[in-house]
């Protein structure tokens, strides 16, 4: 439907349905990686227009969305991946509109995900398309320190996606922290990180702020998902928290300059 190099003109709003970027932003001619880095709504509205909701749903479910991750905790939510039938079953006006496909393309509208699911999706990209079952702990030991149970990685699925496409997504997420919406907060960070900011609409108050990330970029071993309820733009509310978590995970918060006490 699109090549990585194809440029789409962002005038601040889409040309079919006048849905806009946040804050009236207009980026002009942009390609895929630029759109990822700057979280550009108009570009991904057009991707939704080209793909259609049925294809969006199929790929969302391939990632494992719309179902429980299988973590060993009770009461896990399934989230929601919308489709035409969902609209018919739950709304008096059951017709599906192109504007709702646009919303689905940027994760808004009927979409529901848990923070764990958001981390799972980032983990799949970090692991080159492999999805593993999450566990609360790595092992259980008794009072004498003997291992009672050890949890080994369980591969649940692999994305049916060209590896080159996954690499394009990885590079786009990398640029988010280098030139895009998370670049200011991660300026000077000594470890390469890939991430994505997000802002989720909230009918009950201010929008929720999102940030999901993984690192180190070349050889990932950690995924972070942060949501700040009613925090506004994710780049302002969730990204600073994500940086602090990354600092702790990589031991950067314990390092001190030479000569300090």
Q: Which three-class secondary structure state does DSSP give residue 211?
A: strand
Could you tell me the pTM of the whole model? 0.91
The arithmetic mean of pLDDT across residues 28-41, rounded, is 96
Quote the radius of gyration of the chain (alpha carbons, Å): 20
A 10 A CB-CB count for 95 gives: 9
- Which DSSP string do the residues of 70-124 spell out, in sequence order? --SSTT----B---HHHHHHH-SS----HHHHHHHHTT-TT-B--HHHHHHHHHH
C-alpha triplet 20, 23, 24: angle, nearest 5°: 50
The answer to whether 166 touches 63, Cβ cutoff 8 Å, is: no
The arithmetic mean of pLDDT across residues 226-253, rounded, is 94
Q: What is the pLDDT of residues 155-202, one digit of tens each?
A: 999 999 999 999 999 999 999 999 999 999 999 999 999 999 999 988
Q: What is the pLDDT of residues 104-158, one digit of tens each?
A: 999 999 999 999 999 999 999 999 999 999 999 999 999 999 999 999 999 999 9
pLDDT of residue 202: 85
């Amino acid at each position: 439907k699109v090549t990585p190099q194809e440029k789409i003109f962002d005038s601040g709003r889409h040309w079919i349905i006048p849905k806009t970027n946040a804050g009236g932003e207009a980026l002009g001619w942009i390609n895929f990686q630029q759109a990822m880095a700057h979280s550009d709504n108009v570009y991904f509205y057009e991707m939704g227009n080209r793909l259609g909701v049925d294809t969006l749903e199929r790929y969302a479910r391939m990632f494992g969305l719309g179902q429980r991750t299988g973590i060993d905790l009770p009461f896990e939510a399934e989230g929601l991946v919308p489709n035409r039938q969902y609209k018919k079953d739950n709304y008096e006006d059951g017709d599906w509109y192109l504007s709702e496909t646009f919303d689905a393309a940027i994760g808004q509208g009927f979409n529901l995900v848990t923070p764990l699911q958001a981390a799972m999706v980032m983990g799949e990209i970090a692991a080159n398309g492999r999805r593993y079952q999450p566990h609360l702990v790595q092992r259980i030991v008794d009072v004498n320190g003997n291992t009672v149970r050890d949890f080994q990685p369980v591969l649940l699925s692999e994305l049916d996606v060209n590896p080159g496409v996954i690499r394009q997504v990885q590079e786009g997420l990398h640029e988010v922290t280098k030139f895009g919406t998370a670049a200011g907060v991660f300026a000077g960070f000594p470890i390469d990180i890939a991430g994505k900011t997000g802002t989720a609409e909230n009918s009950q108050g201010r929008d929720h702020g999102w940030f999901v990330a993984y690192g180190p970029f070349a050889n990932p071993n950690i995924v972070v998902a942060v949501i700040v309820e009613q925090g506004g733009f994710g780049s302002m509310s969730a990204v600073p928290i994500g940086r602090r978590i990354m600092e702790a995970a990589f031991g950067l918060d314990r390092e001190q300059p030479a000569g300090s006490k």
